[in-house]
Amino acid sequence: MKLIIINYGAGNIKSIQFAFKRLGVEAILSNNIDEIRNADKVIFPGVGEASSAMKMLQESGLDKIIPTLKQPVLGICLGMQLMCNLSEEGNTKGLGIFNVDVKKFSKSVKVPQMGWNVIADLKSDLFKGIKDKEFMYLVHSFYAEKCDEMIAKTDYEIEYASALQKDNFYGVQFHPEKSGIKGSKILENFLKL
C-alpha cells in the first residue's frame, strides 16, 4: 500500500500522518507528480484560506494533476472545498471535480462552526460500519451546498454536504483524523476502497 499525502504547504498534515500510523500505514508526504500518480491512495489535505491554498497548488502544477488521478483520492476539509467549483472564500475558482459551489455560513450562527456535529444520510462505502448520525469533528466557516454528489449531510442552521463523492474522488468536510475511533474507521475504509 503506497499512501501519499499531497504536500503543497497548506495545513497541519502531521495529525493525518499520525492517524494513518495508528492504523499501521505509513503516509508519505510528497509534491512529486510521478510519485503522486503512482500511489495506491492519495490524501488531499488543507487547512487555511482557499485562495492562497489554490495559488500554492497552481505554482506547483498540482491543480492540473489532481483532477486526472485515477486512484481513490480523499480531500479533507479545505481539500474537499478546493475540489468544488467556486468558493466564496477569496472568490476562488476550485478544481471543479465536484459540481457544487462553496458558500459562507450566514451571520445567524457562530462562525467558524467548531466542534462535534453529526453526519447523516450516509451513502458510500467510505462510511461502511458507521451508523447514521455519527459524530464527527468539524471546523469551518464555508460549506459545500447540497448536491447530487452528496454522500453525507450535516445541519448547521442549514443542511449542507459534509461529504461528497464522484467516481474515484471523495471529499469530507469533517476531520476523520481528529474524530476518535469512528473517524479512524472512515480512514480505514478509505484504505480498503
Q: How far is the CB of 38 from another protein (least distance, A)?
A: 27
How many Cα atoms are found within 13 Å in the side-chain-facing hemisphere of 149?
22
Of these residues, 77, 84, 89, 188, which one is catalytic?
Answer: 77
Burial 56-71 (b: 16+ CB within 10 A, else e): bbeebebbebbeebee
In the annotation, is 77 catalytic? yes
Identity of the residue numbered 144: A
Identity of the residue numbered 174: F
List of residues contacting another protein (CB under 8 A): 12, 14-15, 18-19, 21-22, 47-49, 107, 110-118, 135, 137-141, 155-156, 175, 177-181, 183-184
Burial of 91 per CB tally in 10 Å (0-12, 13-18, 19+): exposed
In the annotation, is 134 catalytic? no
Of these residues, 84, 89, 149, 175, which one is catalytic?
Answer: 175
Q: How far is the CB of 97 from another protein (least distance, A)?
A: 22
Q: How far is the CB of 48 from another protein (least distance, A)?
A: 4
In the annotation, is 147 catalytic? no
Q: Which is nearer to another protein, 15 or 71 (CB)?
A: 15
Of these residues, 89, 134, 149, 177, which one is catalytic?
Answer: 177
Q: Which is nearer to another protein, 69 or 191 (CB)?
A: 191
With vertex at residue 121, the alpha carbon angle to CA 158 and CA 125, rounded to the nearest 5 degrees, is: 135
Q: Which is nearer to another protein, 15 or 30 (CB)?
A: 15
Q: Which is nearer to another protein, 85 or 141 (CB)?
A: 141
Sign for the CA dihedral angle at 142, 146, 147, 151 comes to positive
SS (H, E, C) 1-43: CCEEEECCCCCCCHHHHHHHHHCCCCEEEECCHHHHHCCCEEE
Task: Name the 3-class secondary structure at 87.
Answer: strand
Q: How far is the CB of 70 from another protein (least distance, A)?
A: 30
Q: Which is nearer to another protein, 37 or 146 (CB)?
A: 146
Q: How far is the CB of 73 from another protein (least distance, A)?
A: 22
Please list the active-site residues.
Answer: 77, 175, 177
